[in-house]
Structure 1
Amino acid sequence: MERFRTLSLIDPDTRRRAETTMSFAQGRFHVEPYESPAEFFADWPFDSVLLVADNDDCIASVLEGLRARGAWLPIIGFSDVVDPLRSARVMFDGLVAYIPAPVSRDLVDAFLSSTAQELAALTRRKNRAAAARARLSGLTRREAEVLSGVAEGLTNKAIADRLGISHRTIEIHRANLLRKLDTNSSYQAMRAAIEADLLS
C-alpha cells in the first residue's frame, strides 16, 4: 500500500502505546504515536492509516473529528478483548478492520498488503463523498429541496408545484445552487449529491 507510509497510533494507554510503537520500529511503516484524538488532530497527518484503541470514546471521537474536517482515513480499531458485537458495531461506523491487542505488526502489514487496492479505491471514494458533502453544506434548505427534485427528474414546474412556490423562484434557486456547486450542469450537481449520499 504505497500511498500510506505512516501509521498513526492513537492510544491513551502509555505502556501499550510505547510497546506498539517499538514493535513497528523495523517494519515498512513509520508509526506516529498519539495519546488522544485531540493530539492527533492537532498534528493531522493526512496520508495515514489510523490504529485506534477502543477505549472509552476514542474511536467515536476520531470518526467525528474526521467527519467534521470533511475527510476520511482507513481506521483499524483494536482492543484487549474483542467483543464480536462491539467490533461489528464500530465496523458499521466506518472502520476497515478490528483486531486484538497487542497489535501485531505482521497482522497489520498482511492486512494492508492484501487490501491495498481496495483501500486505495475506498479512500478515493470516501474523500470524494466528503468533498461533495462540504460543497453541498453551503446550500440552503430550499436549494437542497430543488436539487432533490432535479435528481428525481422533475421539471421546474413540477418542483414548484411540490414546494408551493413559483416557477421563477425555482429557476433562481436552481441557478444559485449551480453557482454554489461551481458547475453549470444539473448533471454535475446531481452527481455531487449522490456522491455525498444525500439522495437515495
Structure 2
Amino acid sequence: MNYGETIHICGIDPVVRTSLKSILEKTDYRVRLHDDAGRFFEAVEPEARGCVLAYVDMPDLIGLDFLETAKEHRIELPIIVITGQANVRGAIQVMKEGAYDLLELPLSEEKLVAAVQQAMTRRADFRAYRGRPRLTPGRLSTLTSRENDVLAGLVEGKLNKVIAHELGISARTVETHRSHIMTKMRVKSVADLVRISLGAPRHDPSRMVPPAARQMSVEISDSRR
C-alpha cells in the first residue's frame, strides 16, 4: 500500500467511477470516491498527496470549473481529466486550466494505470511547472517565422484548413510545417505539443511505469454515451 498517496475520483458517472476504482486498487494505491466536486473540496486538504481523476464533458466543457476551483483552493494534486469525446480545442482548454493529463474513454487498463503512476512519480515536477512561464525558448527559437505562425494556430485549436486559409497557404503545407514543428519540439503528438507550448509537463515514455507484466484488454465503457 502506498500510504499517504490517494487517488481521488470525482465527477465521473457512478458505473465508470466504480470500474476505475476496481482497476486502480490493484496498484496498491488508496482510492477514494467523491460523488461531486463540492464533497471533494470539503474532504481534501491543499497539501494532500496523490492525484485526481475528474470528468469534463466535451465539447461543451461541462465540469471545467472543477479545475478553476482546484486552483482557488490551492490544490496541488495533479488532475487527470477524463472525457468521453476529446477534441483539440477542449484539450487545449483543460491544459490551460491546469490539468496534468487528458484521457479519453473508452480507456484501456494499461493506459489508465500508466497515466496515474506517472502523475504520482512526477508530482514534484508538476508543482514546479505550474509556476513556470508557458514557453520553452530553447526549442521555440529553432522554429521559423512560418512555423511559429502555424504553432500559434495549433495552440488555439484551429484546424489545418483554417490555419491554411488565414496564412494563405495550402493545408498540405500546414501539415508539413506541423511535422517539422513536432520534430523540432521533440514531441510525437499534438497533445504533447500543446503541453510544451503551455509550459505543462509532457509524457516521457521512458519514465512511465507499466503495469506488472500483463497486457490487459479490459476497457472501460463511457456510460454517458
TM-score normalised by the shorter chain: which range applies? 0.5 to 0.7
Q: Please give the secondary structure, in 2, of the residue aligned with 1:26.
A: helix
Identity across matched positions, percent: 17
State TM-score, norm by structure 2.
Answer: 0.47
How many angstroms apart in 2 are the aligned matches of 1:83 and 1:67?
23
Q: How many pairs does the alignment contain?
A: 126
Contact 1:9 1:50 in 2 (8 A): yes
Alignment of structure 1 residues 19-58 onto 2, 5 Å: 19-45=19-45, 46-55=48-57, 57-58=62-63
Compare relative contact order (CA 8 Å, sep 6+) and give the higher one, 1 or 2.
Answer: 2
- Higher-helix-fraction structure: 1
How many angstroms apart in 2 are the aligned matches of 1:76 and 1:3?
20
21-30 or 113-122, which moves further after superposition? 113-122
Q: Please give the secondary structure, in 2, of the residue aligned with 1:48.
A: strand
1:90 has 2:102 as partner: no
Which of the two has higher C-alpha Rg? 1
How many angstroms apart in 2 are the aligned matches of 1:76 and 1:97?
5
State TM-score, norm by structure 1.
Answer: 0.53
- 1:17-59: CA deviations, max 9, x gaps? 112111222113221111211010111152120101113632x
Contact 2:24 2:113 in 1 (8 A): no
Contact 1:37 1:61 in 2 (8 A): no
- The match for 1:11 is 11
How many angstroms apart in 2 are the aligned matches of 1:126 and 1:72?
9
**Segments of 4+ moved more than 6 angstroms:** none
Q: Which runs of 5+ in 2 are unaligned?
A: 133-225
CA RMSD in angstroms, aligned pairs only: 2.9
